[in-house]
Amino acid sequence: MQAINSKLQQAIQFHQSGQLNEAEKLYKELITEGNPDTSVYSSLSAALSQQGKIDEAIELLKSASNEFPNDTEITLALSQAYLSTGDIVNSKQLINSLLLRFPSLGNAHYLLGNIHIQENNKDQAILSFEKAIESLPQFVEAHYSLGVVLSQKGENEKAIEKWEHTIKLAPNFLPSWLNLGSLAMDQSRFEDAIRYLDQVLSFDPEHFSAIKMKGMTLHAMGEIDDALELYLKIHNKKKPSEEIITLIANANRDLDRFEEAGKFYNQVLDINPNNSIAKENIEKFESKRIDGWLMSMLADLKRNDGYAESIKRTIQRGDTVLDIGTGSGLLSMMCAREGAKKIYTCETIKVIADVAKVIIADNNYQEQIEVFHAKSNKLKIGREIPQKVDALVSEIFDAGLLGEGVLPSLRHAQANLLKEGAKIIPAAADIKAVLVQSNHLKKTGKIKEVSGFDLSSFGKFQVDDSYKTIVLSNIPHLKLSDEFKPLSIDFHNLPKATSPQSPNVHTINVEITTDGEIDAVVFWFDLHFDDELTLSSGPEKEMIHWGQAVECFDKPRKVKAGDIISLTVEQSETNVVFKHL
């Protein structure tokens, strides 16, 4: 017996240290020698599963279950093995039969909760995890899993409560600290996120997920140099990954190190030639020019008058203001003219920031207006800005509204730079759209064939954005629908933060008014400066600077008047994409 116990302890030590092959051999010897401890079967199945020998693990447990039909541990292990292969039917059948005999078996309820998660039955999963906790109040994994499901249902406060409880039960249970950090980051509670992630790193300084998430949080806070240092720490210790190299490239880009960023984006494309983030940024670097956009913006008199009217109504004497995107300094000077005490404005292009300082001085507002050559997310309270400000003005829109980064910029400002309830100009926007038929637009997609010649190689010089900028009234087209509204954005209450890989998605139905073939969707925006003033960048509308955005569909679709067309609208932080179903 003593020899058997010694061999079992040695097997467990091998298993815990990751020496799975050695552990497997000893477990099998113990079974062959008639070891009376049936837990050896469960341990051996776990070692086999960890080596990818899941079929062998299932056959072992089936044999053990026949030999020891009343052993709950073996039945639980077999059910778990079935579940790991996606065999929900057999897994659930075993657990239900076990619960008929042992209705209060906490481990069985916990496993049933995991089965319900696989079935996407969140309500039943919650009930099962609660029963597991009722039977085993100290069951850390059950509390944690219950928190995960609650979070998936949007009940974040309850999820936080569960994860915090697991930490009280087991302070070194890292998944709870990690989830608390992730949720805090998603909610822009950046200081809390750092605190949670630092707890993970206090237990495991090389926890790469925590290091990555801390870097992402610091990046969102504008601490980009510190974020880059953490990304590089992972990059230097692990095999280069697409995700980490992309984060490194993004950090260099946001530090205006465009050449260095380009090198890392090219490394990303070496790993995955279809990485949209890398492709988009490289194309923007190659095509980035300070063109006539600034002059055309200043010539947009209706736009300028709209800002002036709203600022006059909104900005009060003594207000402090943040102006994102200085440009010529026009909006900042409008705020100063209305009596704003101090305006802090930022511009990412140095030559424009320098000229803006001259213009502001020429108009004698240099005491009221301070210009920073920086992105707004690099500004910090107590450093560039003494305290949070009363109001925000911005004009960081492109033809499709979101392409200049208005959402992430406002998201950071609201979390870090604005007083609660701060005034925001403009206050909101609606995207408007129309479906069109146009041979001309169809040919403005990626260059392929022109006049019978293959010019596809020339297409590499095109910026491959999801939409192009046009002036619809200058282009031959046939409208196939009335104007419709696919998206509304309240700049005081921003949509959920998202990414190109997991955008916010909804479906709308559009009625066709004219027979034809849908080639493209053309869209623009109505800008709500405040409750009293709305101006539009639509075709032949007031604001002429932006023009309209167009997305050409890959496959034109024939339609007749009266048809109802379903469109999916995918909104990420800097893009809107339309797809017809």
- Of 1.10.1740.10, 2.60.40.10, 1.25.40.10, 3.40.50.12780, the CATH number of 2-247 is 1.25.40.10
Q: Which of 76-80, 168-172, 480-484, 509-513 has the lowest average pLDDT? A: 76-80
Q: In the block, which residue shows the tokens 């207006």? A: 369
Whether pLDDT at 191 is above 90 = yes
Q: Give the angle 400-253-267 at the CA atoms, nearest 5°.
A: 105
Read off the pLDDT of each residue in 12-36 and give the average, rounded to a whole number.
80
Whether pLDDT at 463 is above 50 = no
Q: What is the pLDDT of residue 5?
A: 67
Q: Give the angle 557-561-567 at the CA atoms, nearest 5°.
A: 50
On whether the CB atoms of residues 78 and 65 are closer than 8 A, the answer is: yes
On whether the CB atoms of residues 224 and 255 are closer than 8 A, the answer is: yes
Fold of 428-580: Hnrnp arginine n-methyltransferase1 (2.70.160)
Alpha-carbon 282 to chain mean position: 21
Q: In the block, which residue shows the tokens 């465009």? A: 258
Read off the pLDDT of each residue in 235-263 and give the average, rounded to a whole number.
89
Read off the pLDDT of each residue in 425-431 and give the average, rounded to a whole number.
98
More confident call, 516 vs 34:
516
DSSP state of 110: H
- Of 3.40.50.720, 3.90.180.10, 2.40.33.20, 3.40.50.150, the CATH number of 293-425 is 3.40.50.150
Whether pLDDT at 290 is above 60 = no
What Å distances lie between residue 411 and 197, 219, 309, 392, 500, CA to CA? Answer: 21, 13, 25, 12, 17
Residues 499, 504, 505, 509, CA torsion sign = negative
CA–CA gap between residue 408 and residue 572 (Å, rounded): 10
Whether pLDDT at 231 is above 50 = yes
Q: Where does the pLDDT of residue 297 fall: very low under 50, low under 70, confident under 90, or very high at 90 and above?
A: low
- The reply to whether 293-425 shares the fold of 2-247 is no
Helix 106-118 to helix 140-152 angle, to the nearest 10 degrees?
A: 30
Q: What is the pLDDT of residue 461?
A: 46
Q: In the block, which residue shows the tokens 């093995």? A: 81
Q: Where are the domains positioned within the chain? A: 2-247, 249-287, 293-425, 428-580
On whether the CB atoms of residues 330 and 393 are closer than 8 A, the answer is: no
Q: Where does the pLDDT of residue 545 fall: very low under 50, low under 70, confident under 90, or very high at 90 and above?
A: confident
Q: What does the pLDDT look like over 262-274, one tens digit per residue?
A: 899 999 999 999 9
Whether pLDDT at 133 is above 90 = yes
